[in-house]
Amino acid sequence: MFSFLSQVHLPDIKSREWLRYIGPGILVTVGFIDPGNWAANMAAGSDYGYTLLWMVTLATIMLIFLQHNVAHLGIVTGYCLSEAATLFLPPRLSRFILLSALGAATATALAEILGMAIALKLLLNLPLAIGSVIAAITSGLLLWSSSYRRLERWIIGFVSLIGLSFLYELTLVNIDWVQAAAGWVTPQVPDGSLIIIMSVLGAVVMPHNLFLHSEIIQSRQWNLEEEAVIKKQLNYEFLDTLFSMLIGWAINSAMILIAAVTFFKHQIHVETLEQAGDMLTPLLGSTASVVFAFALLFAGVSSTSTAGMAAGSIFAGMFREPYNIKDLHTRLGVIVTYTAAVLFIFLISDPFKGLVLSQMLLSIQLPLTIFLQIYLTSSTKVMGKFANSKLHNIVLLTIGIIVSLLNIWLFIDQLSG
């Protein structure tokens, strides 16, 4: 890992210039601090204590490499991942991969819209079906009216509120830090935990976020600059990715830690997302459920917007177009994804289980997206002199193989079960 990172020439941080480039990574980070992610983390912490923290660590390391790599595609070529797939892959293959990615974006939107609906039920006692429709329409209107930069500022604010709440609460509860440290670095797969492990993986390394990051980066059109400027942006992008993904690691870890103390320690099995309000009780007392509902609503609003942006980017890319909410293809991608997500919500009988399974579905599609980006970023036809080195490809292929093997293990486990 360190030899890989040593190839990145970090800019002079003292200049603080890199702070101007913080944003795309944070926009991606919110994608894996969403209601579906909350459910996966709650299930991991409440059922297995500190044992599954290692998957947050592994998934975050994978995510840093993958996000950094896919951002290179956007910076160097000016294409998002979907556009590049359409341009450089055989039509049938690219459509198959991109349609599966659109399905992953729909699974993500399902979790996020459902989370918003649960929040509206807690706050206003609205039925989940009505809340889901309101959530989808609200998110669509936010996308229609906001530019990237405006969305970035709002989302950074939402992530800050949510993250600080969980991180601060770590100082108020009795964490066994020795067990936690072991959990972060010791892979363990307790009986019956594989679905939760894959849900945590899918909730962190989300396929649609890889498409989203490449879209946000390419929208800045750095590929039109001279080579020295492109190299500079590649370096600053790495800092943005590293900084943002580490924030995500900390917040996701905090959720599992607090769930372990709140539920696992007392042998309480979590069956509803509403129970997450209990996690904030040490910090907020009797107001915990209300604050949790608002936090869940904010997380849902911000993450549903990013899922919609990813879906619009994927669908528009199939027509060789970048994301543009005023364009028909982008709008169709957003509308189809939100509509399908709401229709699936109508069919869900167990919302919490639906949230966990939606995250597991993301891990199933993930290998397709990983191998797609490896193919594109290792091609000199696509990337020119900025194509992946052999070391980059070894690291990325290792990640793709690990994710694929975990999916095969899950498949075998489900058949044998």
Q: Which residue has the tokens 């980059």?
A: 392
Domain 24-416 architecture: Up-down Bundle (1.20)
* DSSP letters spanning 201-255: HHHHS-HHHHHHHHHHHHTT-GGGS-HHHHHHHHHHHHHHHHHHHHHHHHHHHHH
Give the model's pLDDT for residue 145.
80
Give the model's pLDDT for residue 269.
84
- Spatial separation of the C-alpha atoms in residues 244 and 31, rounded to whole Å: 11
Give the model's pLDDT for residue 327.
92
Give the model's pLDDT for residue 336.
96
**Total-model pTM:** 0.85
Give the model's pLDDT for residue 2.
38
Closest CA to 157 of 298, 300, 308: 298
Give the model's pLDDT for residue 66.
93
3-state secondary structure of 12: coil
Residues in the chain, pLDDT under 70: 1-33, 146-162, 218-237, 277-288, 417
Give the model's pLDDT for residue 270.
82
Give the model's pLDDT for residue 32.
59
- Spatial separation of the C-alpha atoms in residues 44 and 386, rounded to whole Å: 39
